[in-house]
Each structure stands twice: as C-alpha cells, then as structure tokens.
C-alpha cells in the first residue's frame, strides 16, 4: 500500500503534536539528572497542560481584546509552523508551503503577538519582557535568514522539504563537513528562538531576568495551556528541522509503503529524543548570559552563518 500525501501529512503532524510535551519533559529530566536529582516524569508536561485546561482563567482588568486574541494566534502560527516543517517524511502536501521566508515569518509573527499580549496587560514585567523579546527577534532574524538562505543554496531549493531531501540524498560525511558552520549557526538560532540557555532561562522565577515568561505572566487556565503547548511545539518543530538535516536518515517519502512511514515516525522519535538530550545537556553546562551581552551572542551566530554562506559559495566555484 503506497502512501498518499494526505496520509503522510496526518501521520507526521500527529507525531509532532503528540511528542511536543514529551520533548519538554525529556529536557527537564536530563537537567534533573545533571543536578543529581530524580526529577519529574517525562510525561509530567501532559498532566500540567491537562491541569491548566481545567482551571479558571483570570483576565487583567484593563486588558483589551488583544490579550484574549494572542493565545489563539500564537498557537495557530505554531501549528502551521509544525505542519510545514518536514518531520517524519518528505513530499507531503505542505512541501509547497515550506518556503524559508514563510517559516521565518511564522516564527516572527508568533513572537510579535506574544509581545503584544505582554504589553496589553499594562504590567511592568510584561512590557519589559516584550521589549526584550523584540530586541532578541531583531538580533536573531539576520542570522536565521542567512542560515536558511545558505541551506537553500546548498539544496537548490527554497523549500524546507527540498532542503531535507537534498541532505537525505547527499553523501552524509561530505555534506555535513561542508554545512558544519551553517548547522552550528542554526543551533545557536534555535536556542534563541525558543528562549533557551544561554539567551533565556525558561524555568526562572526571577521576574527581572525573564523574557518569555514575563510576557505570559498574566495568563492562566486554558490561555496559559495554549501558550505553554505552543512553546513546546515550537521547540519540537525547530528540533525536527535541525535533526532531519544533521541526521537525514529514515525519512519516509510519498509513494512508499506504510512500513517506511512507521520507520520515519520511529526515527523522528529517536531524533527528538537525541535533540532533547542535547538541549538538556547544553542548558546544564552553559551559564545564562546577561541581557546586555546578547549582541555578542547574535554577532557570533551571524558571523558563523556568514562563514557558512561564504564556504557554500566558494565550494560552488
């Protein structure tokens, strides 16, 4: 039985959306083990989301419709991002919509609306977090665009589906050696785009150091559940993209059998597990940078991305 585009789309979308809280739970468990703690179960994020969905929402008195609108926009843009990023397979229908500029726009749109939600409450910490978030977005976008453009140049395709297909077909050792600076810059951008160390601490309780958490401080109940799930799904989508380029193995294609799809889903789970291990290890070994040194971090990411682009052009000639 051959796979249709719709079947692959449904299968890989379901796999990514169901695995998102598990990725966050695995990161928490890895960090706990680095600290010689037992840590919570890796399924704890599922129970946390279920608990939030049952709780009552509190809405700030002076907030507007923007506050209520933000969780829906952030969750919707993140779901679209997760759908268009190739995960368990390539060649599905969203491949035509996986343009690198669309992906960058979706990532930025979610951040912008999250900042609007933080400012709409009138909270000091919400405005501070929104201000910092927009600064980080402005610093991260140049490096992200150069990374995506370089990957597109390598693959001869501006779609993420074509980029993953190129790395899956190319000799692994040669392609990794040539794309190493670009992939390193991509990892730095992924950490920044998902508010991870050393840019932000997602587990902090100190308001003065918050970025992402300061913007969602006033949200509760189902609204907070939507934002927390969107954050986990965003991390999983970026992790799928990164791991499918670094380890482009076991990826199913449209037209192959159901067995290959099962292999693709299983390989995706293994890749996300390795990605969660990587994130948890980095967050345990790195120290959070001061916010006023963020330009140094993003300058490093930009220079590495630029070096990767120069290397890609030099290899062509």
- Residue ranges making up the domain that contains 221: 5-316
- Say if CB 268 and CB 88 are below 8 A apart: yes
pTM for this prediction: 0.94
Q: Tell me the HSE value of 54 on the side-chain side, using a 13 A CA sphere.
A: 6
pLDDT tens sequence across 185-199: 999 999 999 988 889
pLDDT of residue 1: 42
* C-alpha separations of 41 from 18, 49, 60, 303 in Å: 16, 14, 33, 39
* Nearest to 210, CA basis, from 194, 226, 218, 199: 199
Spatial separation of the C-alpha atoms in residues 155 and 171, rounded to whole Å: 13
Count of domains observed in the chain: 1
pLDDT of residue 208: 66
pLDDT of residue 292: 86
pLDDT of residue 258: 81
Structure tokens at 306: 């630029």
pLDDT of residue 93: 78
* Nearest to 289, CA basis, from 197, 214, 194: 197
3-state helix, strand, coil in the chain (%, to 5): 75, 5, 20
Spatial separation of the C-alpha atoms in residues 247 and 308, rounded to whole Å: 18
Mean pLDDT by 10 residues, the chain (317 residues): 72 94 96 92 96 92 91 96 92 81 91 94 87 92 94 92 92 89 95 90 72 89 96 96 94 82 93 96 90 92 95 79
Eight-class DSSP state of 1: -
Element (H, E) at 90: strand 89-90
Instruction: Label residue 158 exposed, middle or buried (CB < 10 Å: 0-12, 13-18, 19+).
Output: middle
pLDDT tens sequence across 202-215: 877 666 677 888 89
């Amino acid at each position: 039985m051959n796979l249709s585009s719709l079947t692959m789309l449904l299968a890989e979308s379901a796999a990514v959306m169901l695995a998102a809280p598990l990725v966050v739970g695995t990161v928490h468990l890895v960090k706990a083990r680095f600290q010689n703690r037992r840590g919570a179960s890796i399924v704890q994020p599922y129970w946390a989301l279920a608990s939030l969905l049952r709780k009552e929402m509190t809405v700030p008195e002076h907030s507007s419709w923007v506050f209520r609108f933000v969780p829906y926009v952030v969750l919707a843009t993140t779901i679209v991002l997760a759908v268009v990023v190739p995960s368990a397979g390539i060649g599905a229908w969203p491949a035509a919509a996986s343009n690198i500029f669309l992906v960058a726009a979706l990532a930025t749109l979610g951040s912008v609306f999250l900042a609007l939600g933080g400012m709409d409450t009138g909270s000091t910490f919400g405005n501070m977090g929104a201000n910092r978030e927009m600064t980080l977005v402005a610093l991260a976008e140049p490096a992200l665009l150069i990374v995506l453009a370089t990957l597109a140049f390598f693959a001869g395709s501006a779609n993420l589906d074509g980029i993953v297909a190129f790395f899956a077909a190319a000799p692994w050792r040669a392609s990794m050696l040539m794309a190493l600076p670009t992939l390193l810059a991509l990892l730095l951008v992924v950490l920044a785009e998902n508010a991870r160390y050393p840019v932000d601490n997602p587990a902090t309780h100190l308001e003065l150091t918050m970025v992402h958490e300061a913007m969602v401080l006033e949200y509760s109940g189902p609204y907070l559940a939507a934002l927390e799930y969107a954050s986990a799904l965003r991390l999983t989508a970026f992790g799928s993209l990164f791991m499918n380029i670094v380890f482009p193995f076991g990826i199913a294609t449209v037209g192959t059998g159901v067995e290959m799809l099962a292999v693709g889903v299983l390989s995706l789970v293994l890749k996300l597990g390795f990605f969660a291990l990587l994130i948890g290890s980095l967050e345990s070994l790195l120290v959070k940078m001061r916010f006023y040194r963020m330009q140094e971090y993003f300058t490093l990411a930009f220079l590495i991305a630029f070096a990767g682009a120069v290397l890609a052009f030099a290899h062509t000639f």
